[in-house]
Amino acid sequence: MKKHNFFAGPSILPQYTLDKTIEGIKDFAGSGLSVLEISHRSKEFIACMNDTISLVRELLDIPAGYQVMFLGGGASLQFAMVPMNLMEKKSAYLVTGEWATKAHKEAKLYGEAVEVASSKDRNFSYIPKGYPVPSDASYFHITTNNTIYGTEMKKDPDSAIPLIADMSSDIFSRPVDVSKYSLIYAGAQKNLAPAGVTLIIVKEEILGKMTRQIPTMLDYRTHIKAESMFNTPPVFAIFAAQQTLQWLKDMGGVKAIQKKNMEKAQLLYDEIDRNKLFVPTVNDPEDRSLMNICFVMASGYKELEQPFADFAKSRGMVGIAGHRSVGGFRASTYNALPRESVQALVDTMKEFERNN
Ligand SMILES: *Cc1c(COP(=O)(O)O)cnc(C)c1O
């Protein structure tokens, strides 16, 4: 039976990426070697790295003055690298979920990390608005998509101080005005590649202003200077990212995928709103994520949660269990998820409603 992959991360990749990766595992760029056994200093891999970085630049329309890097350590390492490299004494954090909370926690190790607003009071089910940001902070940190609770900041906010964003779960899902950000980071395993690599886009002029000592491996300037080859980069994950980016470019880029993502999300939110058995966890359509769509059983139908999980599983749905801190269900609708999978979930919900 066809599986519909709704996992939150690692998550579905385009069939194109899987096919090209299989080819590369057998014979990488006509080298006669597998991508798994090639030197990162080989001319074939250097070409792959350069092309991957150009694709990132092209797809996100990155202006001059920005550097693009691929590092290890996941988005979680960026929680610490950001304050280490960029926070003099004070920083500002918008706390919209579990990942934002973790990022905020690391910044506290380096000084005063101000929480400008939080949506914790309602289990992170909305995006706070209308908060002041201290003008003397080194930067303002946001998490554009809240992977666990299903909220998203779909517009690039204005900020009077340098803006930094964790875009792990919505990068490449829509056009981004990179010029509004000083630094963007994203773990690859949601919308780009298998786990193992993190994309960083940084405005070069904000670096090098710190008085503190930064360990070599944790200093962005090390990796800029060495073009992401200071040490062995995650070769395989970068190769896979190149395939996903090529796929995205071929289908028309981030504007084209945004349209598809909006249609997929609308299809599912409409059904959640219509179906008497389910309720959304995020009410304001403006705050609803287009990437992670969360819903729970409506009151009076709680006992149907496990039966629905079983029924959906029997229909080929995989990875729709909600995060343990929310419960219910979460369908991740990343770029690579076909509309047919969303339709299949909607049909499953309708059928379950008819049966119950
Ligand atoms: C998944 C995720 C992370 C954590 O990524 P790792 O690569 O596992 O460290 C951080 N932030 C957001 C928004 C995420 O979705």
Which residues lie with the beta carbon below 6 Å from any ligand 1 atom?
9, 74-76, 99, 143, 147, 166, 168-169, 187, 190
Alpha carbons 55 and 272: distance in angstroms, whole number: 36
Nearest CA, atom 3, ligand 1: 75
User: Which tokens belong to 112?
Assistant: 């005063």
Nearest CA, atom 5, ligand 1: 75
The set of residues, in sequence order, having a beta carbon less than 8 Å from that of 213 and lying 6+ positions away, is none
**Candidate from 168, 197, 323 with most ligand 1 atoms within 8 A of CB, to mutate:** 168
What is the pLDDT at residue 2? 83
| Residues noted as catalytic | 99, 166, 190
Phi–psi pair at 297, nearest 5 degrees: -70, 145
User: Which tokens belong to 97?
Assistant: 């979920």
Beta strands in 36-190 (DSSP E): 66-71, 90-95, 112-118, 140-143, 145-146, 151-152, 163-166, 183-187
Calculate how far, in angstroms, residue 178's C-alpha sits from the geometric centre of ligand 1: 20
Nearest CA, atom 14, ligand 1: 168
What is the pLDDT at residue 24? 98
Nearest CA, atom 10, ligand 1: 75
- Among residues 159, 182, 161, 156, which one has the least CA distance to residue 171? 156
Global pTM exceeds 0.95 = yes
Architecture of domain 15-251: 3-Layer(aba) Sandwich (3.40)
Q: What CATH number should be reported for the domain whose range is 253-355? A: 3.90.1150.10
User: Which tokens belong to 57?
Assistant: 């630049």
Calculate how far, in angstroms, residue 224's C-alpha sits from the geometric centre of ligand 1: 22
Distances in Å between the Cα of 162 and the Cα atoms of 46, 54, 82, 91 are: 32, 24, 12, 10
Nearest CA, atom 2, ligand 1: 168
Calculate how far, in angstroms, residue 52's C-alpha sits from the geometric centre of ligand 1: 21
Single-letter code of the amino acid located at 113? A
The set of residues, in sequence order, having a beta carbon less than 8 Å from that of 189 and lying 6+ positions away, is 9, 10, 11, 195, 196
The residue to which tokens 């919209």 are assigned: 96
SS3 196: coil
Beta 90-95 vs 112-118: how paired, if at all? parallel
Calculate how far, in angstroms, residue 30's C-alpha sits from the geometric centre of ligand 1: 34
Q: Is the C-alpha dihedral spanning 167, 169, 173, 174 positive or negative?
A: negative
Calculate how far, in angstroms, residue 192's C-alpha sits from the geometric centre of ligand 1: 13
Alpha carbons 300 and 257: distance in angstroms, whole number: 38
User: Which tokens belong to 130?
Assistant: 């209308």
Alpha carbons 353 and 145: distance in angstroms, whole number: 30
Calculate how far, in angstroms, residue 149's C-alpha sits from the geometric centre of ligand 1: 13
User: Which tokens belong to 186?
Assistant: 């994203």
The residue to which tokens 């964790």 are assigned: 166
Alpha carbons 320 and 326: distance in angstroms, whole number: 12
What atom of ligand 1 comes closest to residue 76's alpha carbon?
Answer: 9
**Candidate from 76, 81, 145, 146 with most ligand 1 atoms within 8 A of CB, to mutate:** 76
What atom of ligand 1 comes closest to residue 143's alpha carbon?
Answer: 13
10 Å CB burial of residue 18 (0-12, 13-18, 19+) is middle
SS3 232: coil
Enumerate the CATH 3.40.640.10 domain ranges in the chain, comma separated: 15-251
What is the pLDDT at residue 325? 85
The residue to which tokens 């419960």 are assigned: 327
Nearest CA, atom 13, ligand 1: 168
DSSP letters, 312-347, are HHHTTEES-BPPTTT-SEEEE--TTS-HHHHHHHHH
10 Å CB burial of residue 124 (0-12, 13-18, 19+) is buried
Calculate how far, in angstroms, residue 107's C-alpha sits from the geometric centre of ligand 1: 16
Cβ atoms of 172 and 248 closer than 8 Å? yes
Enumerate the CATH 3.90.1150.10 domain ranges in the chain, comma separated: 253-355
Buried b (16+ CB within 10 A) or exposed e, 228-249: bebeebbbbbbbbbbbbbbbbe
> pLDDT under 70 in the chain at which residues?
none
